[in-house]
Amino acid sequence: MASESPNTESQKPKSLDDLKRTVQSAVTPSYCYGTLPLSPSDGSLFFKKDEGSDARYINFGALDFKDEDILKLVEVSQRATFGRGDKDVLDESYRKAWKLDTTQFSTQFDVVRSGVLEIVHDQLLHYEKNTLPLEAELYKLNVYGPGSFFKPHIDTPRSDKLFATLVVVLPTVHTGGNLLLGKDGSILNFDSAKLVYAKENKEPQIAWAAFYSDIEHQVLPVEDGYRVTLTYNLHLPEADKAQGVPKGLAFDSCTAVVSALSTFIATPTILPTGGALGFGLMYKYPIDPTKADLTKFTGALKGNDAMIRDACLSVGLTVAVKVLYYERDRYLNGSDAWITDDVKTDDDIGWDTESSLRSRFRDVGKRVITTDIESKSKSERKIPTVWVTPPNRLLTTNLAFATYGNEPSVGYMYGDLVLIATLPAYKERIHAMLESLGDKVDTTSLREKAQKVLEEMEEDEDESDDEDEDMDSDSDGYY
C-alpha cells in the first residue's frame, strides 16, 4: 500500500531487498512440508482387491512390518495412470507405479485429527482466503517400488475448486523417490526417505508435503525399497459453506527470516538513527478492532504473523500491533499517515474546522515516513518506516473528521492493523541483537562486521568533536 519514490527504490541496500524477499517467501509460501509421529493406532491400513475379496491389513505405525507385507499391497493394486487432457493414460515410460482407488482401501490416519490440514491451511491460504476452511479429499494410494518414477507434470484438475495437493509419505524403508517441486527441484527437493523415521529413536513418522496444484512436480526413481503415499486433493468450498477462522498452528520457518533481519539490522546506512519495520497482517482475525486490546492481541497472533513477531523479538526488536491511519488514495501517493498504539475515536482528533488534519492528528499519533530509508531525523513526530510486507485491508476501522474548504464537510481516515517492529539507532540495535541472539546462532561474522562499523562511527564522532573544539577555539579569538 505504501509507495516509494523511484530514487529511493534504486538506492535500496541489498540487505533490504533480501529481507523483503525472504519475508515474503516465508509468509506467502506456495508449498509447505513437515513430519509427524505415526502411532500404531493411526498407522493401520485395510485393503482389498475388489468387492468380493477379503480385506488385508498393514500397520505402518508398527516396527515389525517388512517389504513382504507391502508386496501384498502391490498384489491387489493396478498400474497407475495419469491425466492427459480429459483422459486417463497408462504409459510406463512416463509414469511407473501402482495405485489403489479409495474404494479399495481404508486408512486410520486422519489429516484433520493429526493437525496436518490445519498447518497446511495457515501456510497456503493467504490474506482474505484465510477465512475459508480447507477440505481434504482422499484421492489415491500409490506404491513406488524399485525403478518406479513419475516424470514432470502438473496435476490434472478434477474440480474447479481444486486448490492444492497434499502427499503423505508413509514410513517405509526406501531410498530415492524424491518429490521435486519446480523445474529440477528449483522450488523444493523433498527427500522423504530421510524423514520417515525419527533420527533419535528410529520411531516411524509420516513425511508430508502440500503445494499449489499449478506447480510442476515429479517423483524421481526409487532406488531401493517401496515408497507408499496417500494423495489428497485440497479444495476450497463454496462461499456459502465458509465457517469461521480455525485455530492457528504456526509452522517453524523463522530461521531464514532471523538471518535476513540480522543482516538488515547490521546495515548502518538503513535508518541509522532509528525507525520502524512494518509488516501487513496475513490473517483476518475474528475480532472487532475498535474493542481489541492491541497489547494482548500482539501475543495472540497466529501462523506466519506469529512467526514474524517471534523473529523480530529474537533479534532484539520491540514489536507490537498498531493502527496505521491514512486518507484513502492519498496514502498511496505518499501523503501523510500516522501510527497509533490504539484505535482512535472521532472525538480524539476533534471537530475543529479551523485546524488542519495534520495538526489535529499529530496529538494522538506519529507521522510515518516510508520513503527515506537513510533518514537521520531525530524528530519525535516522525518515524521513518520501511514496509517489509505491505499493509492489508483485513482488519480495519474508519474514523470521521471535519474538513474545510469552500464549505465544511466530513472526511474519513482509514485505519489498518499492522505489525510494527521498532528499530533503535544503530549502536543500540546492534548490541540488543547480539545479546538476544546469544548462542542460538553463530554471530561471529555479524559481530566482526558490527564492531568494524562501530569503530568507524566512533572515529567519525571523535573527528567531529575535534572540529567542534577547533571552532570554539577560533570563536574565542573574536571576543
Question: Could you tell me if residue 148 is inside a domain?
Answer: yes
327 in Cβ contact with 414 (< 8 Å):
yes
Name the residue range of residue 177's domain: 30-241
* Mean pLDDT confidence for 268-289: 79
| Same domain, yes or no: 300 and 370 | yes
Q: What mean pLDDT comes out for the span 135-142? A: 94
More confident residue, 157 or 386: 386
Provide the pLDDT for residue 332: 43
Query: Is the domain of 369 the same as that of 416?
Result: yes
Residue-wise pLDDT for 319-342, tens only, equals 998 888 766 544 444 556 777 776
- Top-confidence residue, 385 or 346: 385
pLDDT for the residue numbered 154: 82
Give the residue, 256 or 400, on which the prediction is more confident: 256
Domain total of the chain: 2
Whether residue 219 sits in one domain with residue 93 = yes
What pLDDT sits at residue 294?
75
Question: Residue 151's pLDDT is what?
Answer: 93
Element (H, E) at 188: strand 188-190
Same domain membership, residue 216 and residue 95:
yes
Cα separations in angstroms, 40 against 37, 142, 204, 285: 10, 21, 9, 37
- The last residue of one of the domains, among 241, 272, 294, is 241
Residues 175 and 280 in one domain: no
Q: What is the structure's pLDDT at 346?
A: 44
CATH number at residue 72: 2.60.120.620
252/122: higher pLDDT: 122
Q: Does residue 465 sit within a domain?
A: no
Please answer whether residues 254 and 310 qualify as being in contact, where contact means their C-beta atoms are separated by less than 8 angstroms.
Answer: yes
pLDDT of residue 460: 62
Query: Among 241, 271, 296, which residue terminates a domain?
Result: 241
| Residue 85 domain flag | yes
Task: Using DSSP, state whether 343 is helix, strand or coil.
Answer: coil
Q: How far apart are CA 109 and CA 168, in angstroms?
A: 10
Q: Which long-range contacts (CB under 8 A, 24 or more apart) does 372-380 make?
A: 372/8, 373/8, 373/12, 373/13, 373/16, 373/270, 373/271, 373/275, 374/11, 374/269, 374/270, 374/271, 374/272, 375/271, 375/273, 375/275, 376/272, 376/273, 377/273, 378/273
At 136, list the grid cell.
481434504
More confident residue, 470 or 214: 214
Q: What are 256's three cell numbers?
A: 531464514
Give the full edge-to-edge strand order of the sheet including 56-59. 56-59, 44-47, 105-107
Claim to verify: residue 281 and residue 409 sit in the same structural domain: yes
Residue at 22 is within a domain: no
**Cα 183 to Cα 18: distance, rounded to the nearest angstrom:** 23
Q: What pTM was estimated for this model as a whole?
A: 0.57
391, 425: one domain: yes
Q: What percent of the chain has pLDDT over 70?
A: 66
Is there a single domain that holds both residue 436 and residue 327?
Answer: yes
- Evaluate whether residue 59 is within a structural domain: yes
21 in a structural domain: no
Query: Is residue 203 assigned to a domain?
Result: yes
Q: What is the mean pLDDT of the chain?
A: 75
pLDDT attached to residue 478? 32
CA distance 108 to 457: 63
Is residue 1 assigned to a domain? no
Q: Which has the minimum average pLDDT: 1-15, 149-163, 204-218, 349-363?
A: 1-15
Based on the fold, state whether residues 80 and 38 are members of the same structural domain: yes
> Does residue 434 share a domain with residue 328?
yes
d(CA 370, CA 396): 20
Same domain (yes/no): 259, 224: no
pLDDT of residue 244 exceeding 50: no
